[in-house]
Every structure is written in C-alpha cells, then in structure tokens.
Amino acid sequence: MTNWNCVVHRGVHLLLATLMVLVVACQSSSPPVTEQWIPPYLQLHLEAGKAQVQWAATSEWITMEGQASIVIEDKGQIVADAAEGARFRLGDGSQLELAPETTIEVENPSSLPRLQITLQDGRLLFAAQKPSYEFATSICPVRLLRLPVRISLESNGTTTRLAVEEGAVTCELESETLTLLTCQEIQAETGEEPQVTEFCVVGTEVSPSTSPSAPTPSPSSTPWGFEPSATSPSSPSPPTQTLTPTPTPTVEGEATPTRRSVVPTPTSTPTP
C-alpha cells in the first residue's frame, strides 16, 4: 500500500510540473503578428516601363522598374520614364497608364476610402473595375459613375481634356454636375468656358485580346494606350470597343450641333 501511495504522489508531482512548464511557455511566447490589411486601390504594381516616385515626407526619388510594387500611404508624385512611359496595375485589377514624361500626384485622403489622382502634366489612361478612384483636374473633380470605366485625360498647362471611352463619369462644376457618357469629352483652355463634345460613335464592343488596336500587353511590350506614331490627342484608340470618329447624320429640317457649351440651356436654330 505504501508503494502505491508513492507512485500516486510521484504521478501527481510530475503532472503538476508539466502543467507549470506549459503555463510558463505560454506566457513567454509572444502573440502571432497579424498582417495589416491594405485596400486594393492603394496597391500599385508596375507592369511595363519605368517611373520615379517621391513621397511628400522625403526628398528622395525611388526608381520603379521590373516588377516593382508600392503601397500608397501618403501623398506622392510619380513621373513616367521619358522613353518608355509606365503602366501600372492596381490591386483590384484597374489599370493606370502614363505617357512618357507624364507627372501625376497620388494621395490617400484619410477621410475618404479612395485613391485621388491629379494629372499635373502629360497624358494618362485609366481603366477602372471599382469605384474607388477620383481625379482632380483644372476643369472639375471627376468621379466614376458607371463601371467599367475607361477614360483618357490630358493636360499641357493651358488645355485640359477628359474623354470617356467607356462607362460614365461625373464632372462637378461650380454651377452644376455634368454626366459624361461613352464617347463624350470635356475640354477647357485657360480663361475659357469648358466645352462638351462627342468625339466618336459607339460601335460594337470587342474584348481587348481580339481588338487589333489593343494587343495583349506583356511586361516588355509597348504600353497599350500610347503608340509611338500617335500624335493627335483628339483621336484616341480605345482598346475595348470599335469607335468611328464620324459625325452623326443631320436630320433634314433640324440642326444637330456637334459641340456645345456646358451652359445647361442651349438653344437650336431650325433650318428655314
């Protein structure tokens, strides 16, 4: 009986010692580090070309090339390469392409869950899959209205032009909010009123992979929106639909203007 009590006591002591070791080990081990969630619209991945990036808090310029990626946490400036330009893919699948030497400013407003892009000089193309983006222009703030959206934006210091190649956007002027649909553009020169025109006729939509004007891009290919021979900013070649830049036929006895002011009460003069 005495031997049995000794065995029981030893077993109890061993169990208590094991429990103490486990408690100490649990207390000393640090909790696992959880990764911080980053919104997809703040994740910028380089797909083609090169670019220089500078954040507002530093004077250092960072070179993006190859398959480089950045997270937009603060205000920054991006300058596309002078020879190749740059094409980026956002975390949600949206595409941003900058013509050579184009300069943009990107910002993550703390009060709004979106990425704000300001074109300072040059040309850009943007194809959005989500409504998490807005553009600041000298004409108006531009917000995405109907997805998917593909827009072309140009600025040279004196003239700003926004063209909607697919989808719809809103342009918030001081006096009114305009809705720009597919094949509509708004353009303004310094000191002049903005003008809205139709730059194409909506045709049959085709996928980018089958459109002859938009070959499937690869990291070493020419960016899909800017061809070396393209010199006319008024005749864009969108990648996902066939656009015929011909004026709409005029019905006999009725005048159909192709260019109008943004003033909301235009008048037409009937043909005698």
What pTM was estimated for this model as a whole?
0.67
pLDDT of residue 150: 98
Instruction: Judge residue 57's burial from the number of C-beta atoms within 10 Å of its C-beta, 0-12 exposed, 13-18 middle, 19 or more buried.
Output: exposed
Q: Reply yes or no: is the peptide bond before residue 32 cis, omega within 30 of 0.
A: no
User: Domain count of the chain?
Assistant: 1
DSSP secondary structure letter of residue 25: H
Residue 86: band (very low, low, confident or very high) from pLDDT cuts 50, 70, 90: very high
For residue 144, pLDDT beyond 80: yes
pLDDT of residue 107: 96
Indicate whether 33 belongs to any domain. Answer: no
Cα-trace Rg, the chain: 29
Indicate whether 262 belongs to any domain. Answer: no
pLDDT of residue 257: 43
- For every residue of 151-185, which 3-state class applies, written as one string? EEEEECCCEEEEEEEEEEEEEECCCCEEEECCCEE
Indicate whether 222 belongs to any domain. Answer: yes
Indicate whether 267 belongs to any domain. Answer: no
pLDDT of residue 17: 72
pLDDT of residue 229: 36
Domain that holds residue 130: 40-227+236-246
Indicate whether 78 belongs to any domain. Answer: yes
Indicate whether 255 belongs to any domain. Answer: no
The per-residue pLDDT for range 21-63, each reduced to its tens digit, is: 676 666 655 555 557 899 999 999 999 999 999 999 999 999 9
Residue 93 is part of a domain; what is its CATH number?
2.60.120.1440
pLDDT of residue 26: 60
The per-residue pLDDT for range 195-227, each reduced to its tens digit, is: 999 999 987 453 333 333 333 333 333 444 655
Give mean pLDDT, residues 86-94. 98
Indicate whether 254 belongs to any domain. Answer: no
Lowest mean pLDDT among 99-113, 157-171, 176-190, 229-243: 229-243
More confident call, 54 vs 266: 54
Residue 189: band (very low, low, confident or very high) from pLDDT cuts 50, 70, 90: very high
Question: Which segments of 56-140 are extended strands (E)?
Answer: 61-64, 69-71, 76-80, 86-90, 95-98, 103-107, 115-128, 133-136
Are 78 and 109 in contact by the 8 Å Cβ rule? The answer is no
Q: Nearest-CA neighbor of 115 among 90, 88, 81?
A: 90
Indicate whether 22 belongs to any domain. Answer: no
> How many angstroms separate the CA atoms of 164 and 146, rounded?
11
pLDDT of residue 15: 72
pLDDT of residue 254: 42
